[in-house]
Amino acid sequence: MTTVSTKEQLEKAKERKEPEIIIIGQLADNLAKAKKIATLSAWAVAGIVAVVGVAAVAAPETAGLSLAFAAAPVAAISGMEVAAIIAAASIGIALILAVYKEYDEVEAGGGRLVLRRKSK
């Protein structure tokens, strides 16, 4: 069992194939919000990736507001909330997809998320 609080720590725990990962703090809250991305269709994920990529280029000049505005249409189409898309952008969509492909959510809430590696 490993406890992580940063994206980098989560990536390393996943790479080590930890049997159980406890995620704490803001990362836990953001990952829980962004979980729905793992259930979306390929075209919806592609739309989110495109929006996040374009908005990231403009973000330094707009203090991040471009992501919120750009995410609104994709949120409407995909059924996700804008806050979830922004949370996903902060973690990285590829990492979210990989984590939820390999792990089941066991517990979530209160700044804590527990993931257990799926059995083959």
The radius of gyration of the chain's CA atoms, rounded to the nearest angstrom, is: 14
112 beta partners:
24, 109
Please report the pLDDT score of residue 67 as a whole number.
52
Please report the pLDDT score of residue 70 as a whole number.
57
Strand order, beta sheet including 103-109: 2-4, 20-24, 112-117, 103-109
Q: With cut-offs at 50, 70 and 90, classify the pLDDT of residue 117.
A: very high
Percent of the chain with pLDDT over 70: 68
Residue 106 has pLDDT above 60, yes or no: yes
Question: What single string gives the DSSP state of each residue in 36-88?
Answer: GGGGS-HHHHHHHHHHHHHHHHHHHHHTTHHHHHHHHHHHHHHT--HHHHHHH
Residue 100 has pLDDT above 60, yes or no: yes
Helices vs strands, H then E, count in the chain:
6, 4
Tens of pLDDT, residue by residue over 34-76, are 888 888 777 677 766 666 655 444 455 444 445 555 555 555 5
Please report the pLDDT score of residue 57 as a whole number.
46
